Structure 1
């Protein structure tokens, strides 16, 4: 369909058309740009679709299209909290890891049963089949929080707790038929390390010699480009000693025997030759590269896999050939990733083995600290009810410490005269300097005392925090216990609050570490958000106290990290905890469609399909013109809004039935057109060529 988005805005009525009982909508009213409003409101259909009793079939088809589009628009959106636990891993393994924990105990040693890219196979060497297996360990990888580095704030990261060996990959040949002393250039050992083939020519206790140059088979006259230089085989010698002549970017040199020669910066070594009397049929297999072989020692940086030859290298070699029947080649992680300056990985950012052979990452969190509580001061508080719910007047205009849950959620559990109650607000009221009473906002909005005993509870599903206070001292610490447990057994924060004088700490206006203390790890001068290892979040303490408030958020369960280890062939699907928006379709009730003979203009919102010749409602909207095609033009249709007695009608009509149907398609596919104003003109060349004028 061809779509042009230039709308003709009509600001005056068509000459000769008199409006009787209906007026075209004014500038202050909703316009076509708001469609499907007002015909769909708050996710519910709010109109009828009217067709003429004698209408053409095309009008009915167009009305059906509009009705279908209204149903598609009749949806309600709801924000739903999701835990983020829906992680699906193929070709790998996943575990829930507590914040602050290392991965080793949960993952152990990973092999081909855990990560599909890892091998357990046999390779051939010296006419023997040797047993090979690959493993990965992640013993030093850790889920980091602000307990590891305060600059992390409330964010969770993946890092390490050791400078070397946090992750280790090992390719192990352990077979009685292996004799490492017999590995040489005539009987090399070919292995696939991290998915890359290496040819080993020599093995010692902590070192291997590998071929780093590629092999090329060339006929005389053939060329190959290596490291940007053109290498041409010029001639193959026919003597007892193998010999060739090569040309490297114009530098010609003869090479013989098994030693390599550097030609114009490129090393060339003969692997084999074939000499024929017809020189054009001669050929050679050559090793060509920057280096022919390389010696790799245990602990060397993995330059062969792109690591720098410096302390910035993330991976070092593991080489262990101390046993003649066993050879271990691998990679060990060599950087301590433990602070915001040392390349820790955020959620979804992996630590990768060389060549991205496998990776470990936090895919998501199992839950989030989603219930917020703010502690602040309030003055002039009056209590309406005692704990039994009876009226009292004895506590009036008093200062208080206020605990308030965000979003009007009833997070607080209290005991009022033996009856358990919940509330979104709790007060600790200083009735005097030696008397502090607890109160809450009850369901009627009254402030009611509760039987404190110096205690109330903050609860979010499974998680509970006990709040204790001194009922005989308005300046004593308020202790909140449960920031690191479900059962309020561990993780205490003590908050010094002078309720009567309305400030935190011992001295007003002074920043003090002691304003906040406890076992969680935050103090009054903590200047970043802080997440405990259980998952609770304490927001910037220092800034909050300067504004006379203390704010935190608690989860409904212990927050853990969904950690995955997956190979290059595997996949990870899933997301973080948070919220998603869902849509619910609100079914439109029977009666959406009406005949013109059943409908009264102004009785309700309506979409009127068809012109005055076929629809009496359309005729009424247009003032019942004597000539029912007055104002219409062949090949065109109108979409026009009218206001009648507080209702809105939209006329969708054309000169012919096809013109009308074309306009209904514009309405049905409104998001594809720039509809605006009170009227639009539709040009209908055909039902596949519909445009706005």
Structure 2
């Protein structure tokens, strides 16, 4: 049913970025409990809202209708964040954000482009320290580095993940570097060599990525020969750390807690003869007996917890008990490099006895005492380590790595142990909450579009944009405006082209210049006629000045006796101005800007009686082919398209028609750069053959609004005429800009497709399946550039959100929504509230099937509130009382929201006064 599709559309278009990839709930039939929907949805009045009373309505009916209008208006409010409001995400703990206010992490920008290296200045987990051995002391430092190789890996993208879920993700190509960790020894970590051991390093403490470790074993070999002046030193370093570090003697028993679980640990036996006299140990842990363990070895319990041995002191004496130092909840890391003198990294890392296949290790070290002769042993040599570098590459379970908001890299890795230690992560917390301004191309059936936007003053506009309705004023072809009236956004001069010849004769008196007089100008100057819409906007796009106040007005009427012009500002209401008796000029002041209006004073004019022209850009100059742009809340601009010169239609009234880019009108080129206007006439002159049945609506963000950008962002929405006088959105694509992805179809809802631009503009196209209704497009335009929130976190970190600063914006119910029944020829074209019974209201009579006895449509002393659902998806809510008081009581139940307590589509309202109202579902 189209009713289901209509509600489903409203739900879907209200979802926005916070629900990208989530399942959109299917809609059901309209019911009273949905009130104020569908008359007000998501704080926005329905564009086809009507409140209908009978032509001979009782005063009580009118008061009831007023109550309902006031109720709907009070709920037509949307939350708007203050401009440049910082994100409301709060991260507490050892954490650092990659982006900052001075250097935003942009969409599709690599982490390493913003922060190539992190140190202990940024994170406590990267704190260095000092190691002192018998060979001296050295400071050690830790670094985290991120690649910046001009690829998309390690950036935030909008895409489908490996499971075809659409959304924004922190993304890594499979097998590309995620991070490099380096442990640097400033003075070099030096040790004597005994056998194959760096004996001075063993049992030394060191902290790695926030986790305390001890070096439990080393193994050094010089593979080519035992000549320390050459060869290829092959070095392995083993470290153990853990949640609990403890010391127990033989036969001792103690209880420890790891991750909330108790472990009873008992040392069964310590052997002083095992491992060549180094000793071994066996434990009983919660009744489970471990393997016999030596220094540096680990064992895994049945629940996955590890125990690791740091040191065994086996005395073999009765008077001195043998003891063992161990880790419970142990974590073991091993680094190996087969040649510490070259620059080739190898797969040489193990974590908890598992080889990390997606990591490589590079250790830089060398002998500091050398001999030219081959030795029988390395004992007596001395070796120094300069640094250890560890690189982890992406290997997700399903290929490329997609990290959704609120999660981290660790959870996506096939081998999460590759993070080296268990308590840190690289987390994606979503896009910045900048606040947004909504832009909508809202279909009116299958043949018209309205354009909705909010200007930089916070004023909401709902403007008739394009019509392809059969029999419209342009003869059933695509035109700007609605079915009957035109929308103008381009200044034109008088261009007279006899017989549409190849040469154009221009009336020099009408060529433009300052607005000094409108008297005596040719009729083609005056192309804005009664009831037409026009856009005024003072954007100076030639200087990339996008700070401007845009208003859309309708030319309502002229009173030639009193020289008065009446306009309706679609966002603020009625305006009246008086024009001069000599110059026929008036000053129209809108948004603090004065726009000159010229009136046609040619009494003999037939085609353009009382038409006007307007200085649409407010610069005081009459120009030819100068297009004005819409300035949006958030500093973006809208290019409404190319408009055919009205002189192309010489035979009658002017029409506002789309044109190919042949009329040399000023505007924005494909790359978002302003192109100045000319007065050139195309070869062959201006004629209707240059009219095209397609138009591009372009959303442009200038480079100055970006943190970094080489070109303006220009996203073009192509609207085209279709067969059968239908209309639709053909494409949404980037003409220029740093990044654009989409439209991508949602797997879980085939009616929706979504896209995201580099500035952070989010696009959602609703294309109802099984319906001939035109597509709807909703754009969330950020009030400032939307950056990506990526954090490197260490240890326990919590995230929370706080309320954004900002205010509420009232979405006005349009003037004219209140109608008499005689003004409604087809109630199914509206989402309507009909007040009054069939005796006083012909629309109510039609809804009820024109009952023969109109007064018996409702039981005595009651009102009936009932929903009627039309096949096109619109609904009518009838408030019908047996008496005038009963009707007003029903209206009061609607206005107060009491009707929303009823289930189903019909309810009965009773009571003795307006304050005493009871609602019961029927």
Relative to the length of structure 2, the TM-score reads 0.41
Contact kept? 1:233, 1:246, Cα under 8 Å:
yes
**Is the Cα contact below 8 Å between 1:87 and 1:573 reproduced in 2?**
yes
- Alignment correspondent of 1:145: 157
SS at match of 1:145: strand
Note if 1:402 corresponds to 2:486.
no
Candidates 88, 97, 118, aligned match of 1:110: 118
Residues 132 and 171, structure 1, Cα contact 8 Å, conserved in 2: yes
1:197 corresponds to 2:264:
no
Alpha carbons 1:145, 1:533 under 8 Å: kept? no
Match of 1:132 in 2: 140
Is residue 2:557 matched to residue 1:334?
A: no
Q: Where does residue 439 of structure 2 map in the other structure?
A: 372
In structure 2, runs of 5+ residues without a counterpart are 1-76, 221-232, 257-262, 338-345, 367-382, 411-418, 468-472, 481-485, 488-532, 535-551, 554-567, 575-611, 617-624, 645-658, 660-690, 706-710, 747-751, 810-915, 917-922
- Partner SS, residue 104 of structure 1: helix
Q: Tell me, in whole angstroms, the C-alpha distance in 2 between the residues paired with 1:332 and 1:261.
A: 25
Mapped to 1, the partners of 2:190 and 2:794 lie a distance apart of 28
- Structure-to-structure mapping, 1:321-470, within 5 angstroms: 321-323=364-366, 325-329=384-388, 331-335=390-394, 344-351=402-409, 353=419, 354-357=421-424, 359-362=426-429, 365-377=432-444, 400-405=448-453, 409-410=454-455, 423-428=461-466, 431-432=474-475, 433=477, 436=480, 437-438=486-487, 439=533, 442=553, 443=568, 456-457=629-630, 459-470=632-643
- Cα pair distance change 1:552/1:502, threshold 3 Å: farther
Using a 3 Å threshold, how does the CA distance of structure 1 residues 292 and 171 change in structure 2: closer, same or farther? closer
Q: 1:521 to 1:541 in 2, by over 3 A?
A: farther
Q: 1:550 corresponds to which residue?
A: 776
1:97 CA displacement: 1.0
What secondary structure is seen at the aligned counterpart in 2 of 1:557? coil
Q: What is the rounded CA distance, in whole Å, between the counterparts of 1:209 and 1:172 in structure 2?
A: 15
Do the aligned partners of residues 523 and 270 (structure 1) sit closer, same or farther apart at CA in structure 2, a change above 3 Å counting?
A: closer
Residues 1:84 and 1:336: Cα distance change in structure 2 (over 3 Å)? farther
3-state DSSP class of the match of 1:97? coil
Does structure 2 retain, via aligned residues, the 8 Å contact 1:115–1:567?
A: yes
In the alignment, what sits opposite 1:482? 700
Structure 1 pair 198/91, CA: closer, same or farther in 2 (3 Å)? same
Which residues of 2 match residues 191-230 of structure 1 at below 5 A? 191-194=206-209, 195-202=211-218, 207-210=235-238, 212=240, 219=249, 221-222=251-252, 230=266
Q: Is the 8 A contact 1:517 1:524 kept in 2?
A: no
Residue pair 1:366, 1:562 contacting (<8 A) in 2 also: no
Deviation at 1:538, TM superposition (A): 1.4
User: Alpha-carbon deviation of 1:271?
Assistant: 4.0
User: Could you tell me how far 1:103 is from its partner in structure 2?
Assistant: 1.3
User: Cα gap change, 1:490/1:358 in structure 2, threshold over 3 Å: closer, same or farther?
Assistant: closer
Matched-pair contact (CA < 8 Å) for 1:301–1:317: yes
CA contact (8 A) 1:467 1:480 kept: yes
**SS of the residue 1:355 aligns to:** coil
- Over 3 Å counting, the alpha-carbon distance change for 1:546 and 1:559 in structure 2 is farther
Q: What are the within-5 Å matches in structure 2 for residues 262-661 of structure 1?
A: 271-276=312-317, 279=318, 281-285=320-324, 296-297=335-336, 300=347, 304=351, 316=359, 318-323=361-366, 325-329=384-388, 331-335=390-394, 344-351=402-409, 353=419, 354-357=421-424, 359-362=426-429, 365-377=432-444, 400-405=448-453, 409-410=454-455, 423-428=461-466, 431-432=474-475, 433=477, 436=480, 437-438=486-487, 439=533, 442=553, 443=568, 456-457=629-630, 459-471=632-644, 472=659, 473-482=691-700, 489-498=712-721, 501-504=724-727, 515-519=731-735, 520-522=740-742, 528-540=753-765, 542-543=767-768, 547-553=773-779, 554-568=781-795, 574=801
Classify the secondary structure of the residue corresponding to 2:178: coil
2:96 matched to which residue of 1? Answer: 93
Asked if the contact 2:280/2:294 (under 8 Å) is kept, the reply is no
The alpha carbon displacement at 1:85 in A equals: 2.8
Which residue pairs with 1:11 in the alignment? none
| 1:566 positional shift | 3.9
8 A Cα contact 1:242 1:257, kept in partner: no
What is the number of residues matched between the two proteins? 463
1:123 aligns with 2:123: no
Which residue is equivalent to 1:648?
none
Which of 216, 219, 233 is the matching residue for 2:269? 233
For residue 568 of structure 1, report the CA deviation from its aligned partner: 2.7
Partners of 2:282 and 2:238 in 1: CA distance:
26
Counterpart CA distance in 1 for 2:197 and 2:249 is 27
Conserved 8 A contact 2:240-2:310: no
Instruction: Tell me if structure 1 keeps the 8 A contact 2:456–2:634.
Output: no
Tell me what 1:167 maps to. Answer: 179
RMSD, matched Cα: 5.6
The answer to whether the Cα contact below 8 Å between 2:394 and 2:401 also exists between their aligned partners in 1 is no
Equivalence map 1:237-252=2 (5 Å) = 242=277
What is the DSSP-based 3-state SS (H/G/I as helix, E as strand, rest coil) of the residue aligned with 1:98?
coil
**Partners of 2:744 and 2:278 in 1: CA distance:** 80
Shift of 1:119: 1.6
Tell me whether 133-142 or 104-113 shows the greater mean CA deviation.
133-142
Which has the higher relative contact order, 1 or 2, with Cα contacts under 8 A spaced 6 or more apart?
1
CA gap of 1:581–1:161, structure 2 versus 1, over 3 A, is farther
CA deviation profile, 1:376-402 (whole Å, cap 9, x unmatched): 2469xxxxxxxxxxxxxxxxxxx7542
| 8 Å contact from structure 1 (residues 87, 363) kept in 2 | no
Q: CA deviation at 1:291?
A: 12
SS in 2 for 1:167: strand
